[in-house]
């Protein structure tokens, strides 16, 4: 039997556990990632989801469960793990030379400026501002030159769109 509430919906399952769900800002129903042993626990999950929506920090629960970084971790924490585990588009690990090159870019150009920022605070706008400053001073990744200034922007955008959100 399900119960309507001010926000969300609770359903008692035959097992005696509770399932919680709600209609999100995207107008889709979102279920809790697990069932709950008590009604109070399921109400608590709905309350937490409601608060996330109120703070305008909402993403779908399934998307949040797929995030590849711990809450509170910095770009430095995330990037180091990413570099160690990232695979090419064909599923093969990065070649040693590529990993070395990415490491030089990461430790020489990116982390000195952005490494201490929490992952949650990194937005496409913030990355674009940083990259624009880099491009004004250099070609983005090397010495001052007339090299293609879009090269660095492409690398940053590719990383931005492939990272877990």
pTM over 0.75: no
Per-residue pLDDT of 63-72, as tens digits, reads: 776 656 666 7
- Measured CA to CA, the distance from residue 105 to residue 117 in angstroms comes to 17
CA distances from 2 to 8, 14, 38, 50, 107 (A): 11, 12, 14, 19, 53
E strand or H helix at 156: helix 150-162
Q: Which tens digits make up the pLDDT trace of 12-65?
A: 999 999 999 999 998 999 999 889 999 999 999 999 999 989 988 888 887 776
Given this model, what pLDDT does residue 159 score? 56
Q: Are residues 82 and 35 in the same domain?
A: no
* pLDDT per residue as tens digits for the range 112-161: 888 888 887 777 778 888 888 877 776 545 554 444 444 555 555 555 55
Residue 11 and residue 1 in contact, taking contact as beta carbons nearer than 8 Å: yes
Q: Which domain holds residue 37?
A: 2-65
Residue 9: per-residue pLDDT: 93
156 and 103 in one domain?
A: yes
* Contact (Cβ atoms closer than 8 angstroms) between residue 41 and residue 48: no
Residue 70 in any domain: the answer is no
Instruction: For residue range 64-102, list pLDDT tens digits in order.
Output: 766 566 667 888 888 888 888 888 878 788 889 988 998
Is residue 49 a part of any domain in this protein? yes
- Count: domains in the chain: 2
Q: Looking at the domain assignment, is residue 55 inside a domain?
A: yes
Q: Does one domain contain both 89 and 153? A: yes
Same domain membership, residue 151 and residue 98: yes
Q: What's residue 28's pLDDT? A: 92
For residue 131, the model assigns a pLDDT of 83
Q: Distance between CA atoms of 74 and 117, rounded to whole angstroms?
A: 5
138 in a structural domain:
yes
């Amino acid at each position: 039997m399900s119960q309507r509430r001010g926000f969300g919906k609770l359903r008692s399952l035959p097992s005696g556990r509770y399932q919680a769900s709600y209609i999100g800002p995207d107008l889709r129903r979102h279920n809790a990632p697990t069932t709950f042993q008590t009604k109070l626990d399921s109400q608590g999950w709905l309350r937490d989801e409601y608060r996330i929506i109120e703070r305008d920090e909402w993403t779908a629960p399934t998307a949040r469960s797929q995030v590849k970084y711990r809450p509170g971790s910095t770009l430095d924490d995330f990037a180091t793990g990413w570099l160690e585990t990232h695979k090419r588009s064909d599923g093969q690990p990065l070649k040693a030379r590529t990993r070395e090159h990415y490491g030089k870019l990461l430790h020489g150009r990116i982390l000195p400026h952005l490494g201490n920022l929490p992952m949650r605070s990194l937005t496409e706008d913030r990355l674009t501002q940083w990259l624009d400053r880099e491009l004004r001073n250099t070609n983005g990744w090397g010495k001052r030159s007339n090299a293609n200034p879009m090269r660095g922007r492409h690398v940053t955008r590719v990383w931005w769109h492939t990272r877990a959100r």
